[in-house]
Amino acid sequence: MAKRIIVVGSGAAGMTAASSARGADRDAEIIVITAEEHISYSPCAIPFVLEGKIKDFSSIIMHDPEFYRRERGIDVRTRTTVTSVDVDKKAVTTNDGSSLPYDSLIIATGGTVFVPPIEGSTLPGVFRVRFIQDGMDVQKALPSARSVVVAGAGVIGLEIAVALRHAGKDVTVVEMFPQVIPRICDQDMAKEVQTYMEGLGIRFVMSTPMGAIKGNGKVESVFAGVTEIPCDMVIMATGVRANLEIPTAMGLEIGPLGAVRVSATLQPYRKGRLVRDVYLAGDVVMCESAAVPGPTMSQLGATAVRQGRVAGLNAAGGYATFPPVLSAWISQIGDVQVGGTGLSRGLADYYGVNVVEGRATGLTRARYYPGGKKLMVKLIADRETHRLLGGQIVAGEEVTGRINWLTAAIMKGVTAEEFVSSFENAYCPPTSMVKDVVNVAAEDLVQRLR
């Protein structure tokens, strides 16, 4: 008899898991259960629709449920929620009252924006940008807004701030930490991004927690510390928390970082034992760091896709493991790209690792070749072993491949010295400097490790 695989959640992790299970088992019955109406879209693209770079929200929806039914034999049940999971009887109950037994279950319930419990956080005019419907709501409200406060200076907050600034709004970013992109980006690199954004006319209120949101029936102002900022729209970009309702109800073990602890096969634990036939993928999962021993969060679209593949293969009876992560990330903030991988200085401090930093600034093309953009590279290595542990890059172009390059080197335990002596860079005047800025930063790092 055909196996039944149930996937809870229709984000990148859930839909990749369903497709990956289908690839491994032609006969399985595969059911995706989701509270959402739209599936298979890219939430990372929402700021760029608001900015007008992408035409409309329908562009970022790859496929509809009918596509999955027709092309992949996957039954996607939208606007449906799971009300309970019986791990012993291996069955899922949904809000329409049906009870669905499963052979394998994949939990990909993702995360939601954490909205701090402050006064006025439910007033009309307060938005978050997580689901496509959120984006549509912001877009609809935008014409009547003049002043916007973005709470949170993580990459999503910054992308939205730029989008709304380009749409002609008065934009203020309020951030609790003293720098933008806290935690994953260091102050020296973050400063570049903030300075660029200030040049666009975006205001920053740093080191200040978001206080109350005030208004009579709708948003009229925000308190950032003791300062009142008049505004007609607030975007909460205050970070993503794993959706733990279902995992908690199932009795799954929650890790120290507030997400589900899983094995390398992406199976959860319950009462100290691995739960059979249950797999997790995406923002709901706690990962292991590949830079240092220890847990980490990796709530990225690319991670969701890679975990979805592993969960889907395993749910279909195959065997795959999900390795520790460096969580390579990148963001496009107006004309500036900023990206990183592995440990930032801040994360190194968190893990108690003694690190040394190397830096270089150059261009994306030969000095004499017109159109080259400024390229800043920072590398971080373990002071004792000299192994590369992290890197950050800010430039006008060509950041992605360089971040992936560093990610490969860190993943393979390369030392700063080995990077300098063995790691070649492809060179042509219109595409790079003869010695790439990444290599120059590695040379600086070697000097500082002496």
Cβ–Cβ < 8 Å for 314, 174: no
The nearer residue to its own copies, 42 or 93, going by C-beta atoms, is 42
Q: Which is nearer to its own copies, 159 or 232 (CB)?
A: 159
Among candidates 341, 369, 349, which has minimal Cα distance to 433? Answer: 369
Does residue 311 sit in helix, strand or coil?
A: helix
Amino acid at 352: G
Positions in the binding site for its own copies (CB under 8 A): 12, 42, 44-45, 48, 53-55, 59-60, 62, 290, 300-303, 305-306, 320-323, 325-332, 337, 339, 341, 366-370, 397-405, 407-409, 411-412, 414, 421-432, 434-436, 438
How far is Cα 346 from Cα 326, in angstroms, rounded to an integer? 15
The catalytic position among 44, 185, 287, 428 is 44
| CB of 153 vs its own copies, minimal distance in Å | 17
User: Quick check: is 44 catalytic?
Assistant: yes
Nearest distance in Å: CB 416, its own copies: 14
Least distance to its own copies, CB of residue 166, Å: 13
Q: Is the CB of 344 or the CB of 432 nearer to its own copies?
A: 432
* Smallest separation, CB 249 to its own copies (Å): 30
* Cβ-based nearer residue to its own copies, 124 or 371: 371
148 or 305: whose CB is closer to its own copies?
305
Q: Cβ of residue 154: shortest distance to its own copies, in angstroms? A: 13
The residues, any chain, with a CB within 8 Å of residue 195's CB and separated by 6 or more, are none
What's the burial of 162, exposed, middle or buried (CB within 10 Å: 0-12/13-18/19+)? buried
Closest CA to 193 of 202, 212, 180, 182: 180
Distance CA 407, CA 390 (A): 8
HSE-up (13 A, CA, CB side) for residue 344 = 20
Q: Give the integer Cα–Cα distance in Å for 182 and 187.
A: 8
Cβ–Cβ under 8 Å, residues 325 and 289: yes
Catalytic residues: 44
